[in-house]
Amino acid sequence: MALPPSSSLPPPSPSDDALRLPSLDALRAFEAAARLGSYERAAEALHITASAVGKRVATLEEQLGLTLFQRGSKPLQLSASGREYLAAIWPALEQLARVPQHQRGAQRGQRLRLSAPPTLAREVLVPALPAFAEQHPDIELELVLSVPFLDQGGSDADLDVRHGQALRTDERPLMQDVLIPLASPALLPDGPLRQPGDLARLPLLRNPLEPWTPWFRAVGLDWPEPEQGPRLFDLGMRLEAALCGQGVVLSRPSLARAALRAGRLRPVLGAGATPWLMASSAYWLLPHGEQPAQQAGAAWLREACERAAADGLALITGGS
């Protein structure tokens, strides 16, 4: 059906520029919390976290300048302003829910939002997506990127992966990572180095969060931390710089599997001969809910990360 000509559309309202419409997600969170009596039950209905429901309701309250729920009440109780506002928006929400195009099929009834750092997402999770789709065709996985090294607090993701030191002493990391010097063949025209001290003639890519000094000590070198060259915080940027032949990277083979398999990066002393060091930081899965989709996503995430770590270790030891 053709769209009506612009001349038949209603003229803009004089007050259009004064409108500040709230997001539909915020309205759905408010309606679900009001109907079900708790953020937790609303989260289950919307397939998000309880903290995400709370954030959306708080954002709506701030935008409206109203308190929608009585503070401290269990179960949640609407304030007078909340009852009035719910009555005003209910017809519009009900009408939107009846639009056929807005109704998700039963086979796509579950959505799982996973937040992860960029390099882990690109090098480990994206290659494993077909396995997740095959194992869980009823779950729609939404993969979004987090910002490394920024304390964001809680996110609105169902599963949240962070990189850093141990977040909980009773939790195991997603990957038992190791660090090993890797370089482009362009930096090794004569083949692998004969001894660790030969690194003195090659540029070293620097990262303050994973310094070279522990590896130097592990191989018997008393060198200080390198002081020349750019400092690259992001794991992906360091790998890219190494691929471009800009220097030797102290990297995690779990994240460099594609480059190692293609021969675009190599252990500087040769596969099986280059000493490696256990990484002091790791990827961690933050505490999450117990919904079936979250449990399935967490199991897939751990499997993908453990496989990546095993594959990477095999590549640097000559196992594959």
Q: What is the pLDDT of residues 18-38, one digit of tens each?
A: 667 888 999 999 999 998 888
Partners of 278 in beta bridges = 178
Any residues with CB less than 8 A from the CB of 286 and at least 6 apart, and which?
159, 160, 161, 162, 167
Question: How many CA atoms lie within 13 Å of 313's alpha carbon, on the beta-carbon side?
Answer: 13
Q: What is the pLDDT of residues 201-214, one digit of tens each?
A: 999 999 888 899 99
More confident residue, 59 or 230: 59
* Res 156: pLDDT: 75
Q: What is the pLDDT of residues 145-181, one digit of tens each?
A: 887 655 555 567 899 998 887 655 557 889 888 999 9
* Res 16: pLDDT: 54
Work out whether strand 139-145 and strand 110-116 pair parallel, antiparallel, or are unpaired. Answer: parallel
Q: How many CB atoms lie within 10 A of CB 318?
A: 11
C-alpha 158/C-alpha 299 separation (Å) is 13
Q: What are phi and psi of 33, to 5 degrees?
A: -65, -40
* Res 166: pLDDT: 62
Q: What is the pLDDT of residues 88-146, one digit of tens each?
A: 998 888 888 777 666 655 444 588 999 999 999 999 999 999 999 999 998 999 999 88
Task: Report the percent of the chain where pLDDT is more than 70.
Answer: 86
CA-to-CA separations, 182 to 185, 190, 253, 283, in angstroms, rounded: 10, 15, 9, 21
Mean pLDDT of the chain: 85
Predicted TM-score (pTM) of the model is 0.65
CA-to-CA separations, 271 to 7, 175, 193, 201, in angstroms, rounded: 72, 21, 11, 20
Q: What are phi and psi of 116, to 5 degrees?
A: -150, 155
Q: What is the pLDDT of residues 37-48, one digit of tens each?
A: 888 888 888 888
**First-to-final CA distance of the chain:** 58
Q: Is the peptide bond before 117 cis (omega within 30 degrees of 0)?
A: no
DSSP state of 106: G
* Res 274: pLDDT: 86
Q: Which of 2-11, 153-162, 306-315 has the lowest mean pLDDT?
A: 2-11
Work out whether strand 266-267 and strand 178-183 pair parallel, antiparallel, or are unpaired. Answer: antiparallel
User: Where do the DSSP E strands lie in the chain?
Assistant: 110-116, 139-145, 159-164, 178-183, 249-251, 266-267, 277-278, 282-285
Q: Which residues of 41-78 are buried (b: 16+ CB within 10 A; e: fewer)?
A: bbbbebbbbbebbbbbbebbbeebeeebbeeeeeebeb
Residue pair 25/135 in contact by the 8 Å Cβ criterion: no
C-alpha 9/C-alpha 114 separation (Å) is 41
